Amino acid sequence: MAAACSNKIIDVFWHEGMVNHETGKGVFDSGTDPGFLDVLEKHPENSDRIKNMVSILQKGPISPYISWQLGRPAQVPELLSFHAPEYIDELVEADKQGGKMICAGTFLNPGSWDAALLAAGTTLSAIKHILDGHGKLAYALVRPPGHHAQPKQADGYCFLNNAGLAVQLALDSGCKKVAVIDIDVHYGNGTAEGFYGTDKVLTVSLHMNHGSWGPSHPQNGSVGELGEGEGFGYNLNIPLPNGTGDRGYGYAMKELVVPAIHIFEPDMIVFVVGQDSSAFDPNGRQCLTMDGYREIGRIVHSLANKHSGGQILIVQEGGYHITYSAYCLHAILEGVLDLPQPLLCDPIAYYPEDEAFAVEFVEATRKYHKEMVPFLKGT
C-alpha cells in the first residue's frame, strides 16, 4: 500500500488543542435550558465531531494516504491580513473577561480563543506547506470553523476566517488568482465578504437556500450577490433548492463551477468542505451521500490538475452528524486523491433523489450568469 500511494498523499494539519473549545449544552445551538428537558444535547459544533474525523483518518482505510503535520497557533498580527484590528481586540478582550456569547449560537468560552488561534495558524501552516513546495494536497482539519467570520463580525460558530486568511497569504506569496470552492451547506458569507471587491479571488459557494439569519449574517446568499467594484462577478452563489442530493450537486458542479474555474484560471484552489450538506445532518437540509462527496472531490482534483499544478488546500468547516460527517470526509478525500475505487462503504447509503428542481435551478442560474457576470458572458 505504501508504494501504491507514494504519489498520493494528503498532508493533514491538526492540533489536539482545538478540542478545548467547549460550546456547551442546551436546545440545539442556543445554550439555553428550558427547564423541562431531562436530556440537553451538546451544541452541534462540539469536539466529538472533530474527534471522529481525526480517528477515521488515523484508523480508516484511507490512513496510508495520510501524512500528519502538527498545527500551530496564529499570532495576532497574522490575523490582521483579513480581520479588522478593532474586531480582534474585541475577541481578545472577551477572552480576558472569561468569554461571552459573541452572536447567536456562537460562544467564546474559556479555551475558545486559544482554539480559534490554533485553527487559524494551522490553516496558515497548511497553505504555506503548499506554497513552499512541500506538498500539493494539504487539509486543515480545524475547529472552530471559519467561513462565516467576516472582517469585522463573528457569525455562525465562527470567530476567525481560516480559509480567508489562507487565501490572503497565497496572494501575498505570489499567487495571481485564487479560487475558493465552498460546499458547506451554509453560505460562506465571511469569505465572500473579505474578497467582495477584488477580481483576484473567485469565491464560489454551493449552499442550501437559507437566506439571511440576522444581524451577524446580513448576506442572503442569493445569485444576485455578485461582488462589487473590480470584484463584480467574482462571487458566485449557488443556493441549491433544499433537498438537493448527489445528482443535483454533480450537475451544479459540472455546469456552473467547472466552466467558471476554467475561465478564471486560478493558480491556487482552496476547497472549503462542510459535511453538513449530507442527507443526515441536523444542521442542513440537503441530501448528499458519500458518493456525491466523492464525486465532488474528483471534480476538484481534475480542476486542480488543469489549473493549479494539482495544488489544493482543503479547509474544514461544518458537519454535525457525529458519525456520518466522518464518513463523508473520508469520501471527500478519496475523491481529491482520485482513487480508482471507493475505500469505504456508505453505512447509510441510498437516499432517494429527484434532481428536477436542482436541474431547473442550475439552468436558470447559468442563464443569469451569462447575462450578468462579465467574465462569463458568451460562455
Q: What percent of the chain has pLDDT over 90?
A: 95
* Average pLDDT estimate for 328-354: 93
- Would you say residue 347 has pLDDT above 50? yes
pLDDT digits (tens, 9 = 90+) for 233-270: 999 999 999 999 999 999 999 999 999 999 999 999 99
Kind and range of the H or E element at 236? strand 235-240
**Cα(222)–Cα(209) distance, rounded to whole angstroms?**
8
Q: What is the pLDDT of residue 377?
A: 86
DSSP string across 6-21? TT--EEEEE-GGGGG-
**Cα(340)–Cα(338) distance, rounded to whole angstroms?**
6
pLDDT digits (tens, 9 = 90+) for 142-162: 999 999 999 999 999 999 999
Residue keyed to cell 504519489: 7
Burial degree of 164 (CB within 10 A; 0-12, 13-18, 19+): buried
CA neighbours closer than 13 Å in the CB half-sphere of residue 194: 31
pLDDT digits (tens, 9 = 90+) for 307-326: 999 999 999 999 999 999 99
CA neighbours closer than 13 Å in the CB half-sphere of residue 20: 13
User: Which pTM does this prediction carry?
Assistant: 0.97
Q: Yes or no: say if 344 and 327 are a contact pair by the CB < 8 Å rule.
A: yes
**Cα(328)–Cα(18) distance, rounded to whole angstroms?**
21
Please list the active-site residues: 148
Lowest-pLDDT choice from 21-30, 225-234, 342-351: 342-351
Q: What is the pLDDT of residue 6?
A: 47
Q: Yes or no: say if 207 and 249 are a contact pair by the CB < 8 Å rule.
A: no
